[in-house]
Amino acid sequence: MAVESASTINDLNANWPDGTETVTQGDDHLRLIKAVLKTIFPGALGTGFSKPITATEDEINFLQGLTGNVQAQLNGNNFAAGTTILFYQAAPPLGWTLVNMDATRMLVAVNAYTLGGTHDPTIMAVVPAHTHTASGGSISSAGDHTHGVVGADTGNAAVAWTSSVGTYLGPTAGMWSAGTLVTTSAGGHTHDIIGLTIGNNAGGSNWTPKYLGVIVCQKS
């Protein structure tokens, strides 16, 4: 019987040689087996494995169910194209594309995709209770003014009381007698504060919360 032709293990016939071949064909069968093994297990150099395989049969069986290159699947090939997720790293991994996002926005958990808000995140929308220091101010003067004195006399009503000299005036000392003297009220009023400087309680122009920078990438 002629030597079989084979390039894969599947091509080898387990029933050959069947014992009817001549002894001189034995070496042909051995060379065929060697050639098939080198073809099926080419190794890094293409001439056959150059080092022992130390993985156990159980470890090799862990590969069962793979449908593509292991490294490619680890790199994210199991994500559907268009999937968008966050990565905490400098650049997109293999198979992913960077999505240009508004870097002024913060992340908020919502029930549906949306963009919202109108404030820059470096400024608090709601400022907590706090105080500010003030310096350099002065209260403006109300201007020169006088107050009238209300009193009572027992004689000549034509003689007026005045507060400008601190006593009453009459043609003859003691000629007039008076009751208790009181000044008139100026009424409710305000004063302006001039040159007041309000200190920034935060100590800077903006307040920025601590944040974690991530990139948004989409599966290619």
69-100 pLDDT tens trace: 887 777 666 788 899 999 999 999 888 999 99
User: Do 31 and 118 lie in a common domain?
Assistant: no
Query: Same domain, yes or no, for 123 and 207?
Result: yes
- 97 pairs with which residues across the strands? 218
Q: What percent of the chain has pLDDT over 70?
A: 65
Asked whether residue 14 is assigned to any structural domain, the reply reads yes
Question: And the tokens for 96?
Answer: 């992913």
Determine, yes or no, domain membership for 147: no
Count of domains for the chain? 2
Which tokens go with 202?
């935060």
Does residue 168 lie in a domain region? Answer: no
So what's the pLDDT on residue 36? Answer: 95
Alpha carbons within 13 A on the beta-carbon side of 66: 13
Are 26 and 131 in the same domain? Answer: no
pLDDT per residue as tens digits for the range 128-155 = 666 777 777 777 766 666 666 555 444 4
Write down the pLDDT at residue 161. 47
| DSSP 8-class letter at 75 | I
Phi, psi of 216 (to 5 degrees): -105, 125
pLDDT for residue 42 is more than 90: yes
In a shared domain, residues 43 and 88: no
Query: Could you tell me if 37 and 48 are in contact, meaning their C-beta atoms sit under 8 angstroms apart?
Result: yes
- Asked if 99 and 22 sit in the same domain, the reply is no
Do the domain assignments include residue 91?
Answer: yes
Binning pLDDT at 50, 70 and 90, where does residue 179 land? Answer: very low
The answer to whether 32 touches 3, Cβ cutoff 8 Å, is yes
Confidence (pLDDT) at 108: 77
- The domain in which residue 26 lies consists of 9-54
- Sign, CA dihedral 120-121-124-126, equals positive
Are 47 and 83 within one domain?
Answer: no
DSSP string of 153-208, one letter each residue: BSS-TTSPP-SSSSS---SSTTSS-B---EEPP--S----EES-EE--TTSSS---
| 215: DSSP letter | E
Does some domain include residue 116? yes
Is 170 a domain residue?
no
Closest CA to 43 of 53, 31, 30, 54: 53
Average pLDDT, the chain: 75
Say how far apart CA 176 and CA 168 lie, in whole Å.
9
Q: How far is CA 210 from CA 2, 4, 85, 122, 130, in A?
A: 80, 74, 22, 10, 20
- The answer as to whether 70 is a domain residue is no
Q: Are residue 87 and residue 123 in the same domain, yes or no?
A: yes
pLDDT at 152: 45
The answer to whether position 100 is within a domain reads yes
On whether both 82 and 38 belong to a single domain, the answer is: no
User: Do 113 and 17 share a structural domain?
Assistant: no
| pLDDT band with cut points at 50, 70 and 90 for residue 123 | low
